[in-house]
Amino acid sequence: MSKEKYKLHPISALINFIKVLKDMIVPLVFVVAVNGFGSGGDSEGWSSYITYIIYGVILLFLLVSGIIKWKRFRYWFEEEELRIEYGLFVKKKRYIPFERIQSLNYTEGILHRPFGLVKVKVETAGGGQTKEADAELTAITKDAAEQIKKEMLQAKNKLPVDSDETIQVEEIVERQTKPVFHISQKELFILASTSGGIGVFFSGLAVFISQFSEIIPYETIYDEFQVFIKFGVLLIALAVFLVLLVAWIVSVVITFINYYDFTIRVEDNEIIITRGLLEKKKITIPLSRIQGIRIAENPLRQLTGYATVIVDSAGGSLSEKDEKIRLLPLIKKKEINKILLQIFPEFQLDPNYINVPKRSRKFFYRLDFVWMIPVACVVIYFFYPYGLLSLLLFPISFGIGVWQHKTMGYYIDQQHLIVQYRIISKTTVWLEKRRIQSMTERTTYFQKRVGVSSIITTIKSGIGGAVTTVSHLDKEDAEILLSWYEPARTKNTQIEKEQLPNFETINLN
């Protein structure tokens, strides 16, 4: 094993600089704005330059610190560890055992591309101090990145460092399996155009409605006032619409750039996601880290038969608090099964759900009424005639409650729990029993009176937990769920589970 120390590519000095600048952009703009406008006109001579000098010094300092950071950065491989030495003023060393490395994520930014470089993010298993355990190599050549992976694989498999073996490892690294999923142009376009949200639609509606103000008998009111109001409403609606339109176009472009060429591969029990037009991102998720799968269908996409598939992954970096990774950003619901079965052989979608009883329907909207009644009272009191419109909240909330009640359902087989629920979007959660960290039955006083309770499950997601609730199901069913989860009663089935075919055998073809 070589003990040669490697440096990053010089371009990382520039990247460091830009990164710090990007982090500081908000306070910097703020300071510039305050200073610029505050002392702009009447200050004389050198004193107006002093601010510019300060900015110059700051920029220079950042640039130099970027260069020093790059100069000081070293990494090397020793005793099956990735060792890093870095630090601007204080020299720090970080040793990461290869065994502990969960995944290596690659990103190719605009600055990386011309030189054939990548940014490598080393992720370790999540502990309390995850941020400390992670490492980032700002820019190294692709060969160097391969070498890290090679060293890691060697250390993990405890391979001797024979030349033959090295070649074999290289083959593993080089092998590219057929993609499990690749986003089509059409899907990419739909994803981009529906991601901007519903705001544009409503503001368009506002412009439309303002046109109809002709019909409203303004004539009876003051003539001049009328013109002003009509003009004002139209102008504001138009302005809002334009702003939202621009926001929408920006979000379409951003989504398009981010999700361009979105591809999923499965290699060596890892899911590999690559995406991006300008900045190519490569994310690897070990299959063993995936804790649950959720399928979200917002009403708009539900109508058109599209859905989003999100996976919860354990561990990961602190920056992403709960690691919800969009595995399939947009997919026809019919095709989900086909794709996911290749990755998760046990996956199942839309079984025969057990619904929650009719008597629990009131729990889905009643609690909303509690806060809505005083709000409606206040609104009606202060804005008498128009305030009455707030009463519309009740049927709307009732309708949504009934809808939620209708959607709520769950299904269990020996090892899996599938829950379907709705807030506004419909979500289906697929959980493995062995991934559920704890299960709680929750009964309020009112639920108890009608023999209903809720079941709350928690799985690990990122460094925290993600909660899935089966709301207001029959008390007896809730207890069935509890005993389903109770390990003592399911000992036999666990042994059965181990006899199931391993994932690798399925993946080979």
Residue with tokens 């996911």, as numbered in its chain: 340
Q: How far is the CB of 270 from another protein (least distance, A)?
A: 17
Give the residue among 439, 459, 462 at the shortest CA–CA distance from 291: 459
Q: Does 435 help bind another protein (rule: CB under 8 A)?
A: yes
Q: Does 89 help bind another protein (rule: CB under 8 A)?
A: no
Q: Does 460 help bind another protein (rule: CB under 8 A)?
A: yes
Q: How far is the CB of 442 from another protein (least distance, A)?
A: 5
Q: How far is the CB of 129 from another protein (least distance, A)?
A: 15
Q: Does 311 help bind another protein (rule: CB under 8 A)?
A: no
Nearer to another protein, 416 or 435 (CB): 435
Q: How far is the CB of 477 from another protein (least distance, A)?
A: 12
Q: Does 234 help bind another protein (rule: CB under 8 A)?
A: no
Applying CB under 8 A, the span of 55-63, 224-232, 395-403, 462-470 interacting with another protein comes to 462-470
Q: Of all helices (H) and strands (E), which one includes residue 453? A: strand 452-461
Q: Does 314 help bind another protein (rule: CB under 8 A)?
A: yes
Nearer to another protein, 460 or 472 (CB): 460
Q: How far is the CB of 468 from another protein (least distance, A)?
A: 12
Q: How far is the CB of 294 from another protein (least distance, A)?
A: 16
Q: Does 313 help bind another protein (rule: CB under 8 A)?
A: no
In angstroms, the CA 95 to CA 202 distance is 54
Q: Does 437 help bind another protein (rule: CB under 8 A)?
A: yes
In angstroms, the CA 242 to CA 303 distance is 27
Residue with tokens 């900045």, as numbered in its chain: 279
SS3 state of residue 107: strand
Q: Does 440 help bind another protein (rule: CB under 8 A)?
A: yes
Number of residues near another protein (by CB under 8 A): 31
Which CA distances in Å does 458 have to 200, 420, 500?
36, 15, 25
What does the per-residue mask of binding to another protein show for 480-509, with x meaning CB under 8 A?
Answer: --xx-xxxx--x--x---x-----------
In angstroms, the CA 447 to CA 458 distance is 21
Going across the sheet that includes 409-412, the strands are 323-332, 306-313, 290-297, 426-432, 416-422, 409-412, 354-355
Q: How far is the CB of 100 from another protein (least distance, A)?
A: 16
Applying CB under 8 A, the span of 61-69, 249-257, 351-359, 438-446 interacting with another protein comes to 438-446
Nearer to another protein, 2 or 414 (CB): 414
Task: Tell me the one-letter amino acid at 354.
Answer: I
In angstroms, the CA 77 to CA 84 distance is 9
Nearer to another protein, 5 or 434 (CB): 434
Which CA distances in Å does 381 have to 207, 375, 391, 392?
30, 10, 12, 16
Residues in CB range of 431: below 8 A, 6 or more apart: 291, 292, 416, 417, 418, 419, 457, 459, 468
Q: What is the SS3 assignment for 133-154? A: HCEEEEEEEHHHHHHHHHHHHH
Can you tell me which of 141, 263, 458, 469 binds another protein, judged by CB under 8 A? 458
Nearer to another protein, 87 or 465 (CB): 465
- Residues at the site binding another protein, with contacts judged by CB under 8 A: 314, 434-445, 448, 458-461, 464-466, 479, 482-483, 485-488, 491, 494, 498
